[in-house]
Amino acid sequence: MATQTLTTADGSPWATPVGASNLVIECFGPGGGGGGGCATKSDGSGAGGGGGGYAKLTIASPTGNYNFSVGVAGTAGAGGATPTDGGNGGPTWFKVNTDCNANGGVGGKKGIDTGAAAKGTGGAGTAGDTLYTGGDGYQGADGSTAVGGGGGEGAYATGNGTAASSRTGATGTDGGDGGLGGDVHAAGAAPVAGNGGGGGGGGHTNTANVATVGGAGTAGKIILAWTTAGPGKPLMMNYYRRLRTN
């Protein structure tokens, strides 16, 4: 069994290796970024971004070249007097986006002056044989002691990502963990790299008027695995054919 991981640094298309069969494609959507926090003491914190989705497809007899695209991570929301929302993660797809596609997580909303900033929702797997959805981030909070919302866990091969329920980024067995929401007067953190990638934690309020940014999500990826014909297989097959005809 041969394997290869495609990232945002790899160029499309992917060329099918000679003798390859039973190509298994796993698409992981990237995480959404965390929203930025306000610099004003009485304003709120940013929300966590959603985790990326998952999609799996098997091609029994692959041939030729296949186009693909690996989703870029959701950007971190800017903090300060005019904070911004976290960026959405881009879609990850192989062949075409109607064959195998996993969407990125939605970015968390920026901190607001009244109420809680809305969480970023998890990206969904939308095309393929097996589909799962990333976990939601956690909402922001209001007030001078508000902490940022944690990021959602990325979906993975056996299940949906877990949603964040606090400042702590969501964790699970196999998905990429979500980023930690920022503590009081501190920025949100980007998640640790993993399968897929959770959304970044939200930034939040700062009494010193210092910008508290959200954490960026993690980029998507594509994992390929295929069966290869052994170097001696064609020769052995010919040998046995000759035996049967003699």
Domain spans, the chain? 1-246
Q: Are the C-beta atoms of residues 140 and 202 closer than 8 Å to each other? A: yes
Token pair of 182 as six digits:
């920022």
CA distance 199 to 179: 6
Residue 197: per-residue pLDDT: 56
Please provide the distance, in angstroms rounded to a whole number, between the alpha carbons at the two ends of the chain: 34
pLDDT at 245: 45
Q: Say which residues have a Cβ less than 8 Å from residue 176's Cβ, sequence separation at least 6.
A: 28, 31, 51, 52, 153, 154, 156, 191, 192, 193, 194, 195, 196, 197, 198, 218
Q: Which residue from 225, 175, 218 is spatially nearest to 26, judged by alpha carbons?
A: 225
Are 151 and 178 in contact by the 8 Å Cβ rule? The answer is yes
Task: Assess contact for 165 and 138: CB atoms under 8 A.
Answer: yes
Burial bucket for residue 161 (CB in 10 Å: 0-12, 13-18, 19+): buried
Q: What is the pLDDT of residue 243?
A: 40
For 135-159, write each residue's pLDDT tens digit.
Answer: 999 998 887 678 889 999 999 999 9
**pLDDT > 90: percent of the chain:** 58
* Cβ contacts of 38 within 8 Å, gap of 6 or more: 44, 45, 79, 80, 81, 83, 110, 111, 112, 113, 204, 205, 206
pLDDT of residue 63: 94
DSSP 8-state symbol, 160: P
Mean pLDDT by 10 residues, the chain (246 residues): 94 95 96 87 84 96 96 91 92 93 95 86 97 95 82 93 90 81 85 66 68 90 91 42 43
Helix residue ranges per DSSP H, 118-197 = none
pLDDT at 4: 97
3-state secondary structure at position 243: helix
